[in-house]
Chains A and B, each alone.
Chain A
Amino acid sequence: MIRTRIFRSFVFLMIGFSLVACDKTPPNGNNNNNSKAPVTGTLEVEFRIPGSFLPPNRVLRADLSVAVDAEHLYKGHFFYVANVYNNKLMYQITLKPGNYYYQAGIVCIAGGDSCSAAGFPGGQFGVKWAIGTAQINANEITHVVPQFTQ
């Protein structure tokens, strides 16, 4: 009797082990316990080109850069520089929560003195800059629109 009980217990134990080993339940993909994904927010820049008497294709997006503070912005030490295009209006940048400084630039390529008349320093290929700050919060989108002087 004792041997039979020991044998049955052993069999049940092995069945239990086998069931555990054959568990097809997928593991927890979030893996929250070991390494947490960095908490980030999004800076969304609506890079509009201001209207002027110049034709639309004579003023182009030139630069969109982000720095951690004003001093780094002034020195040109950016940690992110976006590739800007003529046909792209919205630019999204994933950042850690905090306060950031961004700069956006537009360039005038019109001939003659049109660029100077439109307020672009240096005339043709002159660049206007718009600088601003953005507060990035976790899991939120911060929307900014750079404002250029007329």
Chain B
Amino acid sequence: MFFGSDNLFLRVFLVPFEWNCEEIKLIDMANGLIKNYLYKGIIILGTTCMVLSSCSTEIDINAPNQNVPIVYCILNDADSVQYVRLQKTYLVDQAAISTPPEADSLYFPGEIQISLERWENGRPVQTVQFEPTYDVPKDSGFFPVEKHMVYKAHVKILPMKTYYLYVYIKDKEEVLFAETTTLGHMTVTDPLDLKQRKIALNIGENYICRWQPVENAGIYQIGIRLNYFETVDGVTVAKSLDMPQSFTSPVTNIDYLTRVISGSRFIHIISEQLKPIPGVVREVQNLDFYFITGGKEIKYYIESTAPSEGALIEKPVYSNFNNGLGLFSSSARADIKGLYLANTTLDSIAYSQLTNNLGFLDHNGDRDSSNICSNQ
């Protein structure tokens, strides 16, 4: 080998022919030292290179971003304005919250055309174009843009009709499209919009909501909103407390769907969500009921994004768009607002063990529990 023990190569070039034996010995010793250092150096250098190269963690695991379009559109038959949200996938090397992407990473540049078509008897009978708008304020949460851009169109959605949504993106030379059938009308049986009928929600007293099944519905959700006044240091502010209930799945061959709202849970949520404030005076105003139903696409989407309960850890996110990702469906809702609570419920909120420190007034409008009747 090149660095063998009898290295002729070094000897030939380092030792002149006219040198004597002593000089040659000195040169041999120096030659040995040099070879020793060279061996050690090469071993150390090689080992270091191997260690450093093997400990490298800079592996590029991210595939190149493909700017996949993401479209969300839930047609609302209770509104005359419909909205479409169009964005694209983006890729950042670090956590997006600490290093939010630029606004250009969220929106497609260039021309965007979005249109909604209503089809009847196999042909389109109505076409509406969407225009960009910044009317919708940003919700709380992660929105790495200054303004929240969506697309809106003034169109009234008809029940039980087939709609197509087309999205043309010139930058990608692609057309996304999706289809949905709108829901039927939602009819609520209980509660009725009847101010004479008081709502009792106490510990041990539940309320049963009833509504008729909606055609094409995939999922239902009921929410109640407690409206109240809060007075602190002489300043009165109208506030509300939302209490969404869990989802209800549709059942076939049934006249009515029901959902029991627990009175105990109602009191517990008030105690959990509201904080005691020294000197605060709260007065219950009324109670609102919200009945919301969504199409089957929404049901599939919610199921696909819900936490896994079985062995299947990662579920594919549902999408009903062609050439992109997203959700196109419809919803229907019925709001029953301004129902009054029963006197017993007002007294329970005012004096129950869970909520008596929240400063709520009883049905007499005071905090004197001596005039409250009880059968206990």
Contact = CB atoms under 8 A, between A and B. Distances in A.
Interface size class of A (residues with CB under 8 A): 20 to 34
Contact of A80 (B363, B371, B372, B375): B375
Interface string A55-92: 00000111101111000100011111111111100000
B56 to A, nearest CB: 67
A127 interface: yes
B196 interface: yes
A105 interface: yes
Interface string B225-251: 000000000000000000000000000
Interface size class of B (residues with CB under 8 A): 20 to 34
Interface-centre pick from A61, A68, A77, A109 (highest chain B CB count, 10 A):
A77
Interface string B183-212: 000000110101111111000011110100
Nearest to B261: A83
Contacts, number: 65
Contact of B196 (A63, A76, A86): A63
A62 B197 contact: yes
A84 B344 contact: no
A83 B200 CA distance: 6
Contact of A79 (B195, B206, B373): B373
A115 interface: no
Q: What's the dominant secondary structure at chain B's contact region?
A: loop
B208 A83 contact: yes
Interface in A11-40: none
A95 interface: yes
B375 A68 contact: yes
Contacts of B345: 81
Interface of B: 189-190, 192, 194-200, 205-208, 210, 342-345, 363, 371-375
Given A62-B196, A80-B375, A83-B199, 15 more contacts: A60-B192, A63-B196, A77-B371, A78-B342, A79-B373, A79-B374, A81-B345, A83-B205, A83-B206, A83-B208, A85-B190, A87-B189, A87-B210, A95-B375, A107-B196
